[in-house]
Structures are given as C-alpha cells and as structure tokens.
Amino acid sequence: MAVTKDVLLGVGGGIAAYKLAFLASRLVQRGHRVRVAMTPRACEFVGPLTFEGLTGRKVILSSTQVDADGTAPHLEAAKAAAVYVVAPATADLLAKLAFGAADDPVSLLATTCRCPIVVCPAMNDAMWTSAVVQQNVATLCARGWQLLGPVKGHLAEGYDAIGRMVEPEAIAEAIGRVLGAARG
Ligand SMILES: Cc1cc2nc3c(=O)[nH]c(=O)nc-3n(C[C@H](O)[C@H](O)[C@H](O)COP(=O)(O)O)c2cc1C
C-alpha cells in the first residue's frame, strides 16, 4: 500500500524544468504531499502557477519567503520533507549546492533539509564533462547525496550526447526507492 510522504521538489533554471510538472503530477497521483521550490531562473522556463495547480500548495519562490500562516517555508517544508529532489540541477545550481549557497530557495532548502537529497543534473555535454562541473558533482556525492543521471540522449541543441535529465518516471521510481529504504 502506498504511504503518503512529503516530497520536496527544487526546480532549477534549465530547459528540462517543464518535465517537473509531470513529475509533480505523478507524485500527487501516488498520494504524496508535494511542495515545490523554484529558483528565479526556473520561473523563466515554467510558471509557478502550474505547480500550484498540480500540488495545491504555494510554490517557494524566494529565500526570504514567509507563508500566510507566518511560517518560513525553508524551515517548515524542510522539516516535513522525507526526500528532497533537485531537478533539473543546472551547472549553476550544482556549483551553488557544492559550496553551500543559500540565496535562492532551492539552494537554501538543501542547507536546511535533513532528509535524503537526490540531484538530477541536466545540461549539454560540454558543460557536463567540464572539470568544474565534475568537481562539484564529486563534492555532492562525497557528501552522500544521491546523483541520478544524466543520461545519454537527445539534447535541446538537437543532437544526442550525455547530459539529458533522467525522465520524470525514473525520478518517481527513485523517490519510491528512497522512501522505501527510509521506511526500512
Ligand atoms: C534556453 C536555455 C536553456 C538552458 N538550459 C540549461 C540546462 O539544461 N542546463 C544548464 O546547466 N543550464 C542551462 N541554461 C543556462 C541556465 O539557465 C543558467 O545558467 C541559469 O543561471 C541557471 O539558473 P539556476 O541556478 O536557477 O538553475 C539554459 C539557458 C537557456 C537560455
């Protein structure tokens, strides 16, 4: 039987951001409570209203946001989360996560969450294979965060190469595995 859990989604400013709407919908259909945080750049790719419609909850849009009930979502949502998924994790976000930035809500939540963190990178092959991105990824893995993808496949630039974000269905499966492991 499916167990309801709080799933926190941190959406970055990459072309694959639109796929997170499908993921949010799928998680809600599976019975999870889903809260979404978006970086300012992510909002240029997909509108917060889409996620608010799908999850029935206000999107966290700022590192200084206070909700209508007076609570700070970077604390409350982090406390409630059973898993935090960052996707698409852009090269910029990976760098911020690696050094512990907290000036956007997605990065900030990574510093306040105590739950498992799953990072789903997405970028073109040049960015993904660059030394600095690989260094940042190694830092996150050494910290115990789970890296999911990227995979080889069609990139937005119009050719096949490494860098494509894993599909939302695969992210949903990974979330299920993390939640199952946490349940013991
Ligand atoms: C059309 C377009 C698509 C982009 N896609 C990606 C991407 O898939 N991965 C990435 O790392 N950067 C991508 N970028 C660059 C990011 O948007 C940029 O680095 C941004 O500052 C990242 O913001 P974030 O930290 O909120 O994720 C793209 C830029 C444009 C204009």
pLDDT band at residue 184 under the 50/70/90 scheme: low
Atom 28 in ligand 1: residue holding the nearest Cα:
14
Give, using CA atoms, the residue closest to atom 10 of ligand 1.
90
Greatest distance between any 2 Cα atoms in the chain? 48
The pTM score is 0.96
pLDDT of residue 45: 98
Atom of ligand 1 nearest to the CA of 123: 9
Q: Sketch out the chain's domains with CATH numbers.
A: 6-183 (3.40.50.1950)
Cα 96 to Cα 29, 36, 110: the distances in Å are 31, 18, 10
Which pLDDT does position 4 carry in this prediction? 81
Centre of ligand 1 from the C-alpha of residue 64, in Å = 23
Please give the pLDDT value at position 1: 47
Ligand 1 interacting residues, C-beta cut-off 6 A:
12-16, 39, 41-42, 88, 90-93, 122-123, 127
- Whole-number pLDDT of residue 181: 81
Predicted confidence at residue 183, as pLDDT, reads: 63
Residues 6+ apart with CB under 8 A from 128: 91, 121, 134, 150, 162, 163
Task: Collect contacts of 151-158 with beta carbons under 8 A, ≥24 apart.
Answer: 155/124, 155/125, 156/15, 156/124, 157/124
pLDDT in tens, 120-164: 999 999 999 999 999 999 999 999 999 999 999 999 999 999 999
Tokens 């997909």 correspond to: 46
Q: How far is the CA of 129 from the centre of ligand 1 (A)?
A: 16
Atom of ligand 1 minimally distant from the CA of 96: 25
Whether 13 and 24 have beta carbons less than 8 Å apart is answered as no
- Alpha-carbon gap, residue 1 to 144, rounded angstroms: 29
CA 15 to centroid of ligand 1, rounded, Å? 7
Residue nearest to atom 1 of ligand 1 (CA): 15
Sign of the Cα torsion 11, 22, 137, 141 reads positive
Nearest to 172 by CA among 132, 120, 126: 120
Instruction: Phi first, then psi: give them for residue 96, nearest 5 degrees.
Output: -65, -40
Q: How far is the CA of 102 from the centre of ligand 1 (A)?
A: 18
Alpha-carbon gap, residue 150 to 136, rounded angstroms: 14
93 C-alpha to ligand 1 centroid (Å): 9
Question: φ, ψ for residue 97 (rounded to 5)?
Answer: -65, -40
Helix/strand/coil percentages in the chain, nearest 5: 45, 20, 35
Atom 24 of ligand 1, nearest CA residue: 13
Question: What are the pLDDT digits (tens) for 6-65?
Answer: 999 999 999 999 999 999 999 999 999 999 999 999 999 999 999 999 999 999 999 999
